Each structure stands twice: as structure tokens, then as C-alpha cells.
Chains A and B, each alone.
Chain A
Amino acid sequence: MTTPLAQLFKKTQSENRAALIAYIPAGYPTQEGCKAVIDVFADAGVDAIEIGFPYSDPVMDGPTIQEAANTSLNAGTGAKEVFDALAHATSRGVPSVVMTYWNPVEKYGVQEFAESISSNSGSGVITPDLPVDEAQPWKTACAESEINSIFVVAPSTTDQRLEKVTAQCSGFVYAASLMGVTGARSGISSGAKDLVDRIKKVTDTPVAVGLGVSTREHAKEVAAYADGVIVGSAFINALSGADSLDSGIKAVRALVEQLALGVREGRG
């Protein structure tokens, strides 16, 4: 099985750079606005897109993404909008995945969810609150639908457990840069590099770093040791801080352009 996401990492590795992975929740700031953001991602240099499934109880997320999820949920976003956004992203030729807490997947139907990812040309799903110990039915569904299952590991994950979790990951391994929740921060935690080094010892699957990455400098720093750089809250801040959708989109474009430079500078 090879997905567009897996092919992307082959390409960026051959270019000796990191991939830029951008997150946006479906339905944020509106469903149309989300698609406009996806268009900018595609045009301005994002390598892969994560569509967030907004959830009522997001324990891995800090205030920025919580508020975006609330805005989106209040507008009625559900599975339909998530797959609509996914289809839009993949139609632009960008390898794309969905990031979702587990309960919406169970409610939708585990096999059905994997199948809908596949039928909308998605590459896989990131499941931040599904430990591999509970993931057997999901792994089976992903295998049947030929999509990637991406699990998150953290600085607290032991070496022994890293081996177990990364063995279940395909596409990439999501390395949480710090112990904490999503949200833009002033610097990258020193634990991030240590974690990536430990992951690289137990798997050949590409490793992408998320949590707290928000500037070109951060992207450059992370790109020095990781295969992918994940940015989320910084885009939401750009959109929520703007006085119109247009100016928000402009701010997103400027940020993407900066980050795209960053992921190419790290190995310099």
C-alpha cells in the first residue's frame, strides 16, 4: 500500500528537506472559508494538509483550537463537512489526512470512516486519543481501506513503547514536541529533538513534529532533524486575529510562505 502521503515523504527526503504539514479544522472559520484556506495552503507551498474533525471534548488541544472547534461546531460542522473539506484538499492535489478524536469515528462506524477517507482520496487519519492498545479494529479497517494510521507519541513515551507504537504507524509518526496541549509557543521544546532521535532508532517511518511550531525559525529548527513540520494554531491565530476573511487569508498565505522557506533551510 502506498498513499500520496507516503510518496510525499519520499520526494521531500530526496530533496533533503522537511515537509510542511498544515492543520485547519473543517468548518473554520466557515466551511467556505476553510476551503479558501485550503486553496491558499495548496498554492503557497504546503506539502500536506490535516483536516481537523471538530470535537466537543478536545483534551489534547489548547485554547486556540478549542475555540476554533467551538465556532465550527456551533455552525453545525459534522462528518459531512469534514469529508467535504478533505475532498476539496485532495482535489487540489495535496496529500491530505483527517485528524480526529476517537468518538466521532466510532459513531460514524470504524470501517465506514476508513472507507470514506479512502473514497475522498485521503491518505490516512491521525488519532490523538487512540492508544495502539485499543486500536486493533481501527488497524484492520485502515488495512482494508488502504489508508495510513498515524499515532501520536510524546516525550514521556518509553523506548520500549516507542517501538510498539511506531510499529503501528504508517505515513508518518506524529511526535508531540512537548508534554502539553496544542497552541503556539515562543520556542521549540528541547525535548523534541531527543524524542525524534529516539524514534529514528526504532523505525524508518518518517517523523513529523507538532505542538508549538508557529514561525519560520521554528520550522527551520525542526526541519534540521525531522521529516515533517506540523503547524496548526498559528494559522487559526492568523485567521481569528484578522478583521475580515480576506485579510485573514492573506495572513495565512504570508505565514505559509515563511514556513515553506523554513522547512527548506533546516539542513543548510
Chain B
Amino acid sequence: MSTSSKDQIDTRAGHFGQFGGRYVPEALIGALDELEAAHNAAQKDPEFLAELAHLHKTYSGRPSIITEAKRFAEHAGGARIILKREDLNHTGSHKINNVLGQALLAKRSGKKRVIAETGAGQHGVASATAAALMGLECVVYMGEEDTKRQSLNVARMKLLGAEVIPVTTGSKTLKDAINEAMRDWVTNVDSTNYLFGTVAGPHPFPTMVRDFQKIIGEEARAQVLELTGKLPDAVLACVGGGSNAIGIFYDFIKDKDVRLIGLEAGGDGVETGRHAATITGGTPGVLHGARSYLLQDENGQTVESHSISAGLDYPGVGPEHAYLSDIGRAEYRAITDAEAMYAFSLLCKTEGIIPAIETAHALAGALQVGRELGKDATLLINLSGRGDKDVVTAAEYFGIPL
């Protein structure tokens, strides 16, 4: 085989064109194989699927509703704007969908302990929640910087019985929390499952997390069809690692006329270098176990990302997004901090919904795309999370005294 080029489609499991795969210490291969087998078996097991569906219905609150945002739409070229309300899930974001699935798998595999990384704290809170529900010991790694930015979520995790370990290495943010969780996993792999929070990381995580999140798009596709009688013209979502975006995109990939648009964190602007827009402003490489786009320097060292949103502040992105971008099936754009905060405030004041700052990037994208497509267009937006956790950041940004 010659060097991989993007025209050579790699059809092995866990590969998305030239992206994905497994770039991990050999010590973890057995655990990843085991996880892959457990996941594949569970996806075919009616008992597992019924148990998960029951939790969705009676615990996290699925199906989540859709809401038409008419007043917000007036600012988006008059296009029809439909919000998929993942913010109404228990724990306040889409992260619970993935965590319930992975924690159930851990329990089935007889593991007593789970670990997780978290940036904004939403995945950590969701993990701590699922662990409490299922009686598992839970350890959450969180960059020391993020424990300060998101102290409310640290308290929530502790209230839920999880141990939160501040990570003081490297840039002290999400990427270092992932490194530390990997080190824990290498050491404790027999007793422990790693609940990975997004569609990045080594195979099977990108596929497994997508399988647990694709319910968002499956529900939303049917809901939009029922409401409008047709498919939306575009589906929009913010992209950190990419789990809420792949979750809402996946069921629409086959609908070739539906545009899929991912909104990355543009920070101060991609041209400033201070951003987290990995596909828009990064290059292909390997980080955290998979080949994808990443922010890196000329020596292949990971470069720190910047965003007002802790949940999007990550220098990597899921490999399936890298692939969808390369083949032209999905588009990715960068939204600056200022654009996101404008959309944040607009949704608060026009619809009475305080979104997560991550989600506000998707809303800012809707303002752009709505104006481009005009009033005959219908846009479906993944409202991935609510903004309770961001009240302090937003108050500071808008100069509201606390």
C-alpha cells in the first residue's frame, strides 16, 4: 500500500475515508476490541435496546420536542426556524443520550467503575448522573482551568457522588483531561470503562457515540416532516468534538438535498489564530487516538484552542466530520465569540430560551444561513443544551453585575 490519500477509501471498521482508526498504546487494544464487541452485540440485542428506550422515556425525557422559533426567525431572513430541544433533557444537554448508553454497556460488561473527561462539565455531569443511577463508581477528569470556569458543574458532579480530579498538566483544559483519563484507563482497564464524551477518540468511540446520539436526528426528521410536510433545507449544529452535530445529521445523510452545516468555534476569528475551528482552520493529523483534523504546529504538536465556550474549546474534531467535510456532504463554518454571544442574547429575548453558549454558535449559523436562503427555507437547529451553566460567563460578557 502506498501512503494513504483521501481518494483511497479505507473500508475497515472505524475508518471514515482516510480518517478515524486507532492510534493508541497497545495496552488499550484489548479493551477497545472488547468495547466494540459489546457495543455491536448490544445494538442487536432487543433487551438492551428496550432498557435504553425505557430510560429515555422515563428518566431523561425523550422524545425531546421541537419548537418553532418565529420571533427569532424574523432576524434570520424570515426563514422557518425549528429548534430540536435537547436542552430539555435531564441534565440539560444531549450528553445524557450517549452516557446512558455507555453506562448501560459498562454495567452489562460487569465493570464497577467509570471514568470520563469533561470540558464544560456537561459530559461530566451526565456521566456522574448515569453512574449514580446505575450504582457505578465515577471519576471525572477536568482541566484545572475549566474547573475554575465551570465551578458550578464541579459542585454538581460532587453532589452526584463523583470524584472530580483537576488536571494540571499541559494547557490544563479538555485535551489534557482526555490525556489523563487515557492514562487512568491504561492503568485500570480491567475494572474500568472510559465513558468518552464525543464522537472523537479511537474506534469504537466515534461510531458508538454516534449510534447513541443519532436518535436526535431520527426523532427530528419525523417531527419536521409531520409539522411541515417536507424535509428541512438545512440542518445546523455546533461542533466541538461533534457529537450533537453527528447526532442530528446522521439520519439526514441519505437525504442528498438537505444541507448539513456544522458551526465551529471561531473564537476571536480564525485569521487571528485564537480559535477552535478545527476543520475550518486545522490540518489532518492524529490526536487522541484517531486521524482527523486538528490544530497543530509545524512539529505536529497540538496547539491550544480558544473559545468563549468551554464545550467547544477543543483542538480536535470527530473523524466522521472530517470525512463528511472532505467528501463535500457537510459544510463547516466558523462563528466568532461575538457572533455567538449576539445570537445567545437574541434567542433569550425573542423566544424565552437561554441556550448554552456552545449552542449559540449554531444559532448564529442559523442567522447567516437563513439570510442566505430567504423566507421559503426551513432550517432545523440542534438546540444542544441550556445555558444555566453559562449564566456567569454571559453576565460578565454583557456587563450584568452579579
Q: A: which residues have CB within 8 A of B?
A: 55-60, 62-63, 66, 70, 73, 78-79, 102-108, 110-111, 128-131, 133-134, 136-137, 140, 151-158, 161, 165, 176, 179-181
Contact = CB atoms under 8 A, between A and B. Distances in A.
A129 B25 contact: yes
A156 B288 contact: no
A60 B25 CA distance: 7
B300 A137 contact: no
A151 B23 CA distance: 12
A176 B183 contact: no
B301 interface: yes
B308 interface: no
A60 B182 CA distance: 9
A18 B184 CA distance: 31
B contact residues, range:
35 or more
B300 A181 contact: no
Contact of A154 (B27, B298, B299): B27
A70 B170 contact: yes
Interface string B278-316: 000000011111010010101111100000000000000
B4 interface: yes
A103 B297 CA distance: 11
Contacts of B12: 133
Given A62-B183, A66-B169, A107 B26 contact: no
Contacts of A66: 169-170
Nearest to A161: B29
A107 B23 contact: no
7 contacts: A57-B179, A102-B23, A103-B285, A103-B287, A103-B294, A131-B29, A176-B25
B259 to A, nearest CB: 32
Given A55-B301, A111-B3, A181-B187, A102 B25 contact: no
A59 B182 contact: yes
| A-B CB proximity, top 6 nearest | A107-B300, A154-B27, A104-B300, A78-B299, A56-B301, A103-B300
Given A62-B183, A103-B285, A111-B3, A133 B301 contact: no
B31 interface: yes
B214 interface: no
Contacts of B287: 57, 103
A107 B294 CA distance: 11
A145 B186 CA distance: 33
Contact of A134 (B22, B179, B296): B22
A79 to B, nearest CB: 6
Interface in B181-199: 182-183, 186-190
B24 interface: yes
Nearest to B283: A107
A119 to B, nearest CB: 19
A129 B300 CA distance: 14
Given A58-B179, A107-B298, A129-B23, A181 B285 contact: no
B21 interface: yes
A106 B286 contact: yes
Nearest to A134: B21
A136 B26 contact: no
B30 interface: yes
A111 B3 CA distance: 9
B1 A136 contact: yes
A157 B170 contact: no
Contacts of B294: 103
